């Protein structure tokens, strides 16, 4: 073989190899790989579990876990062979590690115990109960427009107690994600944020939802802060964050097309929690992010 021909062959091989490498790299970065078969484990709190939405499971009943929550709607669409949904209403990050007492019992086992090497997809939606968000919104509800708002109960001397709670959750959430990756080393991990609960603009819809206009903007900011913290911790751990806040703008508890109920639910769902329409909409968002069709 002449030197000229050998050089041409090497060049052609090099170009072909570079093209193949570029294709494989682009495919990996595009996220178009099919979801690996195996177990999908859903971890989280009531925004995952779906309290009061029919039908409620009995394993245990006290978790108020719906068969129409978004994990149950996502699983058949992403190609995993099994769903293990251990989400539970009232769960905090501590309940990932230890059994959670619920009424009626028995206790919900430590959620991380559901993970193993056969787990191929994990979703995690948690942190709201660690800062007491649902209770916060309920405590800010008032029947009397001339009463003081609730912001001053949490903000004093320029110190925002709820912002401090959010900051304190960050290292605990960070450790939880690390432990998920250790216990499920073969899994794709997705951290799911919270939806838009309060109107994205304006001062609310008092008295339909009796949160004073003076409190709406502050409460809205706390949801933004919580989601921003969760997104940052996910990024720090190189796992995907799924944003539910943006697609749910306009579907807050003041909307006629609400995905989250107000303090007095207008459908079968818990106050200040997703309803069945919300769960279906969130399932669309999550399934599209977890499983993208081959190009």
Of the residues 2, 46, 87, 291, only one is catalytic, namely 46
Residue 22 confidence (pLDDT): 35
Residue 78 confidence (pLDDT): 94
Number of H helices and E strands in the chain, helices first, is: 8, 7
Residue with tokens 């595009």: 30
pLDDT band at 137 (very low <50, low <70, confident <90, very high): confident
pLDDT band at 253 (very low <50, low <70, confident <90, very high): very high
Of the residues 72, 251, 273, 291, only one is catalytic, namely 273
pLDDT band at 271 (very low <50, low <70, confident <90, very high): very high
CA dist., res. 45 & res. 111, Å (int): 10
Q: What does the pLDDT average to over 4-13?
A: 43
pLDDT band at 5 (very low <50, low <70, confident <90, very high): very low
Q: Quick check: is 72 catalytic?
A: no
pLDDT digits (tens, 9 = 90+) for 50-104: 999 999 999 999 999 999 999 999 999 998 999 999 999 999 999 999 999 999 9
- Greatest CA separation for the chain: 94
Contact 41, 290 (CB under 8 A): no
CATH superfamily of 35-290: SGNH hydrolase (3.40.50.1110)
Q: Calculate the average pLDDT of the chain.
A: 89
pLDDT digits (tens, 9 = 90+) for 154-212: 999 999 999 999 999 999 999 999 999 999 999 999 999 999 999 999 999 999 999 99
Cβ-based neighbour number of residue 235 at 10 Å: 12
Q: For the chain, what are the domain ranges?
A: 1-30, 35-290
Asked if residue 263 has pLDDT above 60, the reply is yes
Using a cut of 0.75, tell me whether the model's pTM lies above it.
Answer: yes
Most confidently predicted of 4-8, 152-156, 288-292:
152-156
pLDDT band at 292 (very low <50, low <70, confident <90, very high): low
Pairing of strands 159-160, 188-192: unpaired
CA dist., res. 255 & res. 48, Å (int): 21
Q: What does the pLDDT average to over 141-147?
A: 83
Residue 148 confidence (pLDDT): 84
Q: Quick check: is 256 catalytic?
A: no
């Amino acid at each position: 073989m002449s030197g000229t021909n050998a050089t041409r062959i090497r060049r052609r091989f090099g170009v072909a190899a570079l093209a193949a490498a570029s294709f494989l790299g682009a495919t990996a970065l595009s996220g178009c790989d099919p979801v690996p078969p195996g177990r999908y484990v859903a971890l989280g709190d009531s925004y995952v579990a779906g309290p009061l939405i029919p039908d409620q499971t009995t394993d245990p009943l006290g978790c108020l876990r719906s068969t129409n929550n978004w994990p149950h709607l996502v699983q058949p669409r992403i190609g995993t062979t099994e769903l293990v949904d251990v989400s539970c209403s009232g769960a905090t990050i501590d309940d990932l590690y230890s059994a959670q007492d619920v009424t009626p019992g028995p206790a919900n086992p430590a959620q991380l115990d559901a993970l193993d090497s056969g787990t191929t997809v994990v979703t995690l939606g948690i942190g709201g109960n660690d800062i007491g968000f649902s209770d916060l919104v309920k405590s800010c509800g008032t029947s009397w427009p001339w009463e003081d708002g609730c912001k001053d109960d949490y903000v004093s001397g320029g110190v925002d107690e709820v912002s401090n709670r959010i900051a304190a959750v960050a290292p605990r959430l960070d450790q939880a994600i690390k432990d998920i990756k250790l216990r499920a080393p073969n899994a794709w991990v997705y951290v799911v944020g919270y939806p838009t609960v309060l109107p994205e603009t304006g001062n609310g819809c008092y008295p339909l939802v009796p949160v004073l206009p003076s409190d709406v903007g502050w409460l809205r900011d706390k949801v933004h802060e919580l989601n921003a913290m969760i997104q940052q911790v996910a990024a720090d751990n190189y796992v995907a964050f799924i944003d539910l806040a943006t697609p749910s703008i306009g579907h807050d508890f003041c909307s006629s097309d609400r995905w989250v109920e107000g303090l007095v639910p207008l459908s079968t769902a818990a106050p200040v929690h997703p309803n069945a329409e919300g769960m279906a909409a969130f399932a669309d968002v999550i399934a599209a992010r977890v499983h993208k069709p081959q190009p």
